Amino acid sequence: MAALDRLLGPLNPNKVAQTTAPTTIRVLVFGASDRQGKSVAEFLIRGGKYIVSAIFEDMDHEFQDGILTTVG
Amino acid sequence: MIVLKKQQVRTLQGSLADPRSYSHYLKDIDVVYLDANFWHYLDMADGDFEQAGQQYFEEKIACVNACEAAGVKQMIYMALDNFPENKYVPHFHAKAKGMFRLRGRRWADIQWSIISVQRNCRQRCCTRHMPTTTSYTSTTLPKIQQATIQIDSS
């Protein structure tokens, strides 16, 4: 693989892609266990430009709609 | 959480209450969106709004400090504007207190934004978000209703 890289040099499509691809932004969302934070995480991931992480205190957390505690 | 996992959101374990639980994640992060559920803090404080607000404020500021120390490039802080003293609403006050602290501090290289509900949105927002039926204890609920009444009369 290294030999192939050397052979292709600056025309190596992988290297071209690396230099021209837009920088991916890494986002960390606090509060994603609530409706507001969850929707932010969903919106960002749908855009496709971001690597989205979300912090959860309880890894077994399930979203519940329609109660006061989901609004922060 | 499963909903987010299915959408390729990376789920990490940590707690705002303990910066050590999340600070190592921050090293690889460009942007932090910071929000927390005030009502969770109220639950933890057994309905004591003062204690809940203080805890909420301290944890958020600790998170901001951790982000700055880790070299996070940008922060987005979710806030609410404060009410005048005679219309004190703890939920708003706790968020606004953090906002004022952030506005007043000196920053290193971090860019930050504060997103806040505007004055003319308050009534609609709060009357919608504070239903009279909740899963809260009977000692907490009257206080929430009282806060709602204050907002309605503003």
Amino acid making up residue B152:
D
Q: Which residue numbers of B have CB closer than 8 Å to A's CBs?
A: 1-4, 7-17, 22, 25-26, 28-40, 43, 63, 78, 129-131, 134-136, 144
Assigned domain for A25 exists: yes
* Cα nearest neighbour of B95 on chain A: A72
Mean per-residue pLDDT of chain B: 70
The tens digit of pLDDT for each residue in A30-62 reads 988 887 888 888 888 888 888 999 998 877 766
Classify domain B13-122 by CATH architecture.
3-Layer(aba) Sandwich (3.40)
Assigned domain for A8 exists: no
- Rounded to an integer, what distance in angstroms lies between the CA atom of residue B12 and that of residue B85? 39
CB-based contacts of B67: which residues, under 8 Å, 6+ apart? B26, B32, B34, B75, B110
| Backbone torsion region of residue A29, taken as left when φ is above 0, otherwise alpha when ψ lies between -120 and 50, otherwise beta | beta
Q: Is A25 a residue whose pLDDT tops 80?
A: yes
Domain count, chain A: 1
pTM of the predicted protein model: 0.69
Nearest to B39 among A45, A54, A68 (CB): A68
Assigned domain for A5 exists: no
Assigned domain for A68 exists: no
Boundaries of domain holding A42:
20-59
> What are the residue ranges in chain B where pLDDT is below 70?
1-3, 81-88, 107-108, 116-154
Q: Give B-chain residues touching A33 at CB under 8 angstroms.
A: 1, 37
- Rounded to an integer, what distance in angstroms lies between the CA atom of residue A13 and that of residue A7? 12
- What is the ipTM, given to two decimal places? 0.70
The tens digit of pLDDT for each residue in B112-142 reads 777 765 444 444 334 333 332 222 222 333 3
3-class DSSP state of B138: coil
Assigned domain for A38 exists: yes
What is the distance in angstroms between the Cα of B86 and the nearest Cα belonging to chain A?
23
The helix or strand, by DSSP H or E, that contains position B34, with its residue range, turns out to be strand B31-34
